[in-house]
Amino acid sequence: MEFVEVKILCQVVTSMHGTLNQGAILRTDAAFAKHLVDDCGAAEYVQAKKAPDLAAPKSPRKAAAVKAVSATPSGPDAGGSSDDGKADEPDAVQTSAQNPGDASPDAPG
């Protein structure tokens, strides 16, 4: 069965899909889409947007960046922090539970 997408132009009540409101995108079979568009005038066909191809970068520079990222080790054995207990990532959050020496002297504990 071939599926097509239509954009609903006004509120439509259907037995198959329930109530559809203006602006909704419905993915349905071609016959029902044709009924909504041609017979009811309640929808219009949506042009399919092609997803960007992430497998083939467009420039050699992007290809090198993709290769570098895919070659970066990850996981628990990959490191990620230095021996001083501080995280290497700029957005990492340190708490006193992670590094007890940083807790303030008046903190309960």
Q: Where are the domains of the chain?
A: 3-45
Instruction: Report whether 44 contacts 37 (CB < 8 A).
Output: yes
Side-chain half-sphere CA neighbours of 43 within 13 A: 27
Q: What does the alpha-carbon distance between residue 26 and residue 18 come to, in Å, rounded to a whole number?
A: 11
Q: Which residues pair with 18 in a beta bridge?
A: 14
SS3 state at 28 = strand
**Residue 69's pLDDT is what?**
56
pTM for the predicted model, two decimal places:
0.44
- Which tokens belong to 38? 């041609």
Instruction: Report whether 9 contacts 43 (CB < 8 A).
Output: yes
Residuewise pLDDT in 10s, the chain (109 residues): 889 999 999 999 999 999 999 999 999 999 999 999 999 999 999 986 555 555 555 555 655 665 655 555 555 555 554 555 555 555 555 555 555 555 555 656 5
